[in-house]
Amino acid sequence: MCKPTYYTIAYEINPWMSLKRQANYRHALTQWTRLHELLTRRLKARVKLLTPKPGVPDLVFTANAGLAVGRTFIRSNFRHPQRQREEPYIERHVKRRGFRLVTLPRRYRFEGEGDALWMHGTLLFGFRFRSDAPAHEELARLLHTQVLPVELADRRFYHLDTCFAPLDDRAALWFPKAFDRYGRKVIEGLVEDPISVSEADAKRFVCNAIAVGRSIVLQEGFSVTLRQQLMQRRFSLHPLDLSEFLKAGGSAKCLVLRLT
Amino acid sequence: MASEVVRVSGHIIDSLILPKILDEIMDLEGTFEILELSVGKRKTDPSVARLRVEASSPARLHTILHRLSRLGAAPVTLRDARLARAPKAGVFPAAFYSTTNLPTEVRYRGAWRKVLNIEMDCGITVDRRTGVARCIPMAHVKTGDWIVCSSEGVRVSPLERTRRPEVFQFMASAVSSEKPKAQLIQRLAAEMRAIRRRGQKILVVAGPAVIHTGSGPYLERLIRAGFVQVLFAGNGFATHDIESALYGTSLGVYLDRGTAAADGHDHHMRAINTIRGIGGIRGAVRRRLLTKGVMHACVRRRVPFVLAGSVRDDGPLPEVITDTMKAQDAMRQHIPGVGLALMLASTLHAIATGNLLPATVKTVCVDINAAVVTKLSDRGTFQGIGIVSDTESFLRELVHALHL
């Protein structure tokens, strides 16, 4: 994770960002600290911290930094120049942690765990708004695994992790309208128990959830239906207010990157 | 028709990327042909597909390619055509690209350029300054001309398949004498009218049998009615036409009676001698010595004709071009703008013309001998129909179908 010391809305690169709607620094810090404490204290997760840097406000969204598999780290090739500035910091940090750093050819845009999520040994790969379709072949070659590219269809859900969240080997949260009919078919074939969320819940970024064992951390204020669906499957829910980060088009999952 | 070859690879089957690509091409009104598809054996193996994408216009193709690029299908990267200088006049560089008669483009400085005046069995020369590519016969090569070598950077487009049933599609099968000719001739007449409406030219290649069989007057009517814009023939055809105009015989046989004239065997030699004495066919028409026949109609209607010579010629007539290379060039000059070629009872001249025509020109070959018709079809004349028939009955039917 990365502390939101320099977090602000400095540019507009997705439909959620608006320079007119600034993030409140104090609120953002409180919300982030609550998430950090929940993960480390209650859920007993080990969290490594990335040193914040001025001028790269989106560094807090560490999920987009890359994809860690074993001791290999595949660094992102950001689409927007504003975020490409994060790349050297990520690289330095990852190397210091002892990962083997891999970068994809520059022509392939790839935004890390934002667009690549594991589901039962298969990597689901979202493309169009941020990552490029051909990058999936590079990932498959590097990871010796099946990588299924799915095209994202709704600009508001510009990363795969904004509309899809694997919960365990069987279940995943998803917002079907964020995919086209081919993508929906692929996900329905891959996920045994897909839980679709309503548009209202999707807009609250509930699909941007973190699963730690049977615990799910997600934005609060979701519908009763969703609560019941998750409770039935014996998940314990940890709602949090992360509204300051939604102003930049991110929520719980965007703020963390899985290292193991 | 614009086309481009694209390649897509990866886990494109399970992710439905490939079906999606094919659907998108069709949704955008393009067509595709799968040139190669290798499917990975295990789940983790990549699959590879190579497709030829076709669209009605370059703009539409661009739209399709733009859309496909987002799905990861990229045009197969192509290099420019390789150029080498001609080592000496009339000689191509050793690795020269030999042309077909199909529409051809070469890639030069990153752009596809249409090869002008395409003709089979030639080379392609590129003007390095303007980038203009044109077809060049071997005999025309000058020392130092830049000639396209190897097929890299050369693209040949197959002919567009029209969805409307057409006479040329209708009869695109093998040559046979067992075909309904009346129907065929009706449709051919309609096609000829359409070609004239489009402002394209109709080329007629005629052999001496056209005169022997007494079908000269029908051809004359076609010329007078404006259905012939160019005539290719040999010394024989012109000689017998003039003989029939002067003496009423063809090779000494009265065309109206079918009986041999006394001492008629020398009529054709006397005809040649008369024309040579006057200085040419045009002169004979001007002096009203020649008042009827096909050649007369050509001169009167200002239809250009090329008479090409051969080793068995008598005389020949002054207009006959005896240098075969010069004759080829003279014929070549009349090819641009031709939309239909009618080849009537001629083997030598029909094949020579077939070699000069681009595949886009429709050809009709009429001969009593099926072997001639087959031979011409085998030369790669794609939009051709072969009619095994006597020219007299064919032309009579055609003139009737055109209401002349």
B210-226, pLDDT tens digit by residue? 999 999 999 999 999 99
pLDDT at position B164 is: 47
Nearest-by-CA chain B residue for A131: B70
* Least confident span in A253-257, B77-81, B140-144, B200-204: B77-81
Residue of A nearest to B74 (CA): A134
3-class DSSP assignment, residue B46:
coil
Listed by start position, the domains of chain B span 2-75, 82-156, 167-401
Catalytic site residue from A93, A159, A163, A207: A159
Among A245, A120, A175, A148, residue whose Cα is nearest residue B13: A148
Report CB contact under 8 Å: A134, B44: no
> Taking a contact as any Cβ pair under 8 Å apart, which residues of chain B between 134 and 173 contact chain A?
none
A27 classed as catalytic: no
Residue numbers in A near B76 (CB within 8 A) = none
Residue B163 has pLDDT above 50, yes or no: no
Question: Counting one residue from A and one from B, how many pairs have CB atoms under 8 Å apart?
Answer: 57
Q: According to the model, what pLDDT value does residue B92 have?
A: 96
Strands in B171-242 per DSSP E: 201-206, 230-234
- C-beta separation of B268 from B251 below 8 A: yes
- Nearest CB to A140 within list B11, B20, B71: B11
Task: Give all domains of chain A, ordered by start, each with its CATH number.
Answer: 25-255 (3.75.10.10)
Under DSSP, is residue B338 helix (H, G, I), strand (E, B) or coil?
Answer: strand
Please measure the distance between the N-terminal and C-terminal CA atoms of chain B and give it in whole angstroms. Answer: 37
- Band (pLDDT 50/70/90 cuts) for residue B171 is very low
Interface contact flag, B72 A151, Cβ < 8 Å: no
Q: Which residues of A touch B74 (CB under 8 A)?
A: 134
Q: In the predicted model, is pLDDT for residue B162 greater than 60?
A: no
Q: Give me the mean pLDDT over the B225-249 stretch.
A: 95
Q: Strand B253-254 to strand A122-127: parallel, antiparallel, or no bridges (unpaired)? A: unpaired
| Shortest Cα–Cα distance, B31 to chain A (Å) | 20
Please tell me the distance from the alpha carbon of residue B118 to that of residue B336, in angstroms, as a whole number: 10
How many CA atoms lie less than 13 Å away from A154 in the CB half-sphere? 19
Which residues in chain B have their CB less than 8 angstroms from residue A69's CB? Answer: none
Max CA-CA distance within chain A?
A: 45
3-state secondary structure of B138: helix
Examine the residue annotation and report whether A207 is marked as an active-site residue of this protein: no
Condensed to tens digits (0 to 9), the pLDDT of residues A144-183 reads: 999 999 999 999 999 999 999 999 999 999 999 999 999 9
CB contact, 8 Å: B129 with chain A?
no
Distance CA A202, CA A164 (A): 10
DSSP A40: I
Sheet holding A66-69, edge to edge: A66-69, A72-75, A100-103
- pLDDT tens figures, B363-389: 898 998 888 888 777 665 566 788 888
- On the CB side of A102, how many CA atoms lie within 13 Å of its CA? 16
Tell me whether B10 touches chain A (CB under 8 Å).
yes
Query: For position B62, what pLDDT does the model report?
Result: 85
Residue B316: asked if its preceding bond is cis (omega within 30°), the reply is yes
What residues of chain B lie within 8 A of the CB of A146, using their CB?
11, 14, 43-44
Of A117, A125, A12, A131, which Cα lies nearest the Cα of A77?
Answer: A131
Q: How far is CA B167 from the centre of its chain?
A: 16
Distance CA B364, CA B268 (A): 29
- CATH number for the domain running over B167-401: 3.40.50.10690
Cα–Cα distance between B269 and B387 in angstroms, integer?
33
Query: What's the longest Cα–Cα distance across chain B?
Result: 91
Q: Do the beta carbons of residue B338 and residue B357 sit within 8 Å?
A: yes
- Strand residue runs (E) in B64-193: 74-75, 82-85, 104-108, 111-116, 123-126, 133-136, 146-149, 154-156
Over range B127-143, report the average pLDDT.
95
* Domain B2-75 bears CATH identifier 3.30.70.2690: yes
Q: Which residue has the higher pLDDT, B215 or B58?
A: B215
Domain formed by B82-156, architecture: Beta Barrel (2.40)
What's this model's pTM, rounded to 2 decimal places? 0.60
Alpha-carbon dihedral angle through residues A243, A244, A245, A249, given to the nearest 10 degrees: 70
